[in-house]
């Protein structure tokens, strides 16, 4: 049997992912636009207390300075309208500019608005807004999630905002939003209990120094990478564009894993551990599994990155 991207997705089927994340995101999407903004304000300021975002100085905000200053100078009513347009994905000039931002630029944009809201320079809420019971229900659902799942819900909402013409593609994204790694990455040799496969180790090492090219070179020509809750991205070019946008500044801490030879010289490897985003640094460790399928040449034919249902899942290394 030869593998296809479809059949590869089924490796290590016993892996339990955090379904609560898409479920909560669905609940959020059903809220009215003012309720959505109120939810985000509450969730973000609440999370900010327990899981502090890392210093914003590391992020390059110049890119959207023009747009941000334009919003800062508006009246409170106009500011609210811009935010509603973004949440509604309305076709406006600001909403289009935002739609062309890469993921970290989108997060940086809201991060700055959030700071200005705390300083009273931008309005957080429409005058006279009263929180509905629907918002309270979604807030309670979010409070039950672990930190990694909470920030994933937040991130999804921000990524989905703004207007993107149907023809836009990853290549046109405003991506040059970089993070400076706080400390030089340790040169200590990476070890993963139970996995010695060089391709897997090299992948993690390359990602941990933001060497996207080296990571992508480990993939087969038609290899695929499947991010959490998404469809696989197929081919080196698509993977490279994605990793340049979303894969920089991450701190991957794989702990344990299992390796098996499967059919026709293919091997499969499941690795679990934690991943930190530069936004929250060591304050949030996301519980992650990597499910790799390597071809007989040792190239990555497929890798899925899963956000796990619970920390218990870190120890689930069975094949079934």
Contact set with ligand ECH (CB under 6 A)? 37, 40-41, 44, 107, 110-111, 113-114, 117, 151-152, 154-155, 158, 207, 227-228, 243, 246-247, 250, 252, 275, 277, 279, 286, 288, 305
> CA-CA-CA-CA torsion for 209, 228, 307, 40, nearest 10 degrees?
100
- Closer to ligand ECH by CB, 115 or 264: give it: 115
Q: For residues 206 and 218, is the Cβ–Cβ distance under 8 A?
A: yes
CB of 264 to ligand ECH, least distance (A): 25
- Closer to ligand ECH by CB, 31 or 288: give it: 288
C-alpha–C-alpha distance, residues 224 and 239, integer Å:
7
Phi (first) and psi of residue 226, to 5 degrees: -115, 110
CB of 192 to ligand ECH, least distance (A): 13
Q: Cβ neighbours of residue 238 under 8 Å, at least 6 residues apart?
A: 170
- Closer to ligand ECH by CB, 136 or 265: give it: 136
Q: Cβ neighbours of residue 209 under 8 Å, at least 6 residues apart?
A: 185
CB of 195 to ligand ECH, least distance (A): 14
Please state, as a whole number, how many other Cβ atoms lie within 10 Å of the Cβ of residue 200: 25
Q: Burial-class residue 161 by CB neighbours within 10 Å (0-12, 13-18, 19+).
A: buried
CB of 184 to ligand ECH, least distance (A): 20
CB of 299 to ligand ECH, least distance (A): 16
The 10 Å CB-count burial string (b at 16+, else e) for 18-45 is bebbeebbebbeebeebbbbbbbbbbbe
- Closer to ligand ECH by CB, 113 or 224: give it: 113
Q: Which two tokens stand for residue 138?
A: 């979604």
- Closer to ligand ECH by CB, 167 or 237: give it: 237
For every residue of 223-251, DSSP letters joined together read EEEE-TTSPPEESHHHHHHHHHHHSTT-E
- Closer to ligand ECH by CB, 155 or 269: give it: 155
CB of 137 to ligand ECH, least distance (A): 19
- Closer to ligand ECH by CB, 149 or 259: give it: 149
CB of 296 to ligand ECH, least distance (A): 23
């Amino acid at each position: 049997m030869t593998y296809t991207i479809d059949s590869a997705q089924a490796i290590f089927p016993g892996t339990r992912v955090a379904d609560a994340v898409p479920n909560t995101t669905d609940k959020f999407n059903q809220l009215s636009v003012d309720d959505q903004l109120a939810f985000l304000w509450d969730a973000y300021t609440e999370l900010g207390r327990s899981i502090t975002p890392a210093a914003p100085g590391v992020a390059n905000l110049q890119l959207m300075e023009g747009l941000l200053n334009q919003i800062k100078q508006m009246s409170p009513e106009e500011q609210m309208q811009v935010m509603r347009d973004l949440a509604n994905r309305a076709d406006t000039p600001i909403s289009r500019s935002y739609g062309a931002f890469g993921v970290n630029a989108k997060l940086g944009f809201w991060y700055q608005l959030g700071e200005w809201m705390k300083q009273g320079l931008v309005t957080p809420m429409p005058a006279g807004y009263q929180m509905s019971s629907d918002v309270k229900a979604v807030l309670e659902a979010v409070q039950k999630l672990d930190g990694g799942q909470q920030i994933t819900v937040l991130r999804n909402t921000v990524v989905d905002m703004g207007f993107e013409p149907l023809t836009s593609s990853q290549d046109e994204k405003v991506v040059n939003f970089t993070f400076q790694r706080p400390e030089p990455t340790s040169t200590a040799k990476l070890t993963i209990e139970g996995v010695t496969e060089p391709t897997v180790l090299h992948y993690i090492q390359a990602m941990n120094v933001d060497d996207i090219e080296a990571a992508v070179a480990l993939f087969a020509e038609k290899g695929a990478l499947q991010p959490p809750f998404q469809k696989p991205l197929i081919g080196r070019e698509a993977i490279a564009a994605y990793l340049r946008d979303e894969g920089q500044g991450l701190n991957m801490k794989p702990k344990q894993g299992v390796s098996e030879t499967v059919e026709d010289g293919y091997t499969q490897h499941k690795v679990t551990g934690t991943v930190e985003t530069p936004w929250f640094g060591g304050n949030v460790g996301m519980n992650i599994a990597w499910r790799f399928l390597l071809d007989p040449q040792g190239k990555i034919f497929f890798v899925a990155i899963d956000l796990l249902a619970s920390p218990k899942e870190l120890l689930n290394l069975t094949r079934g």
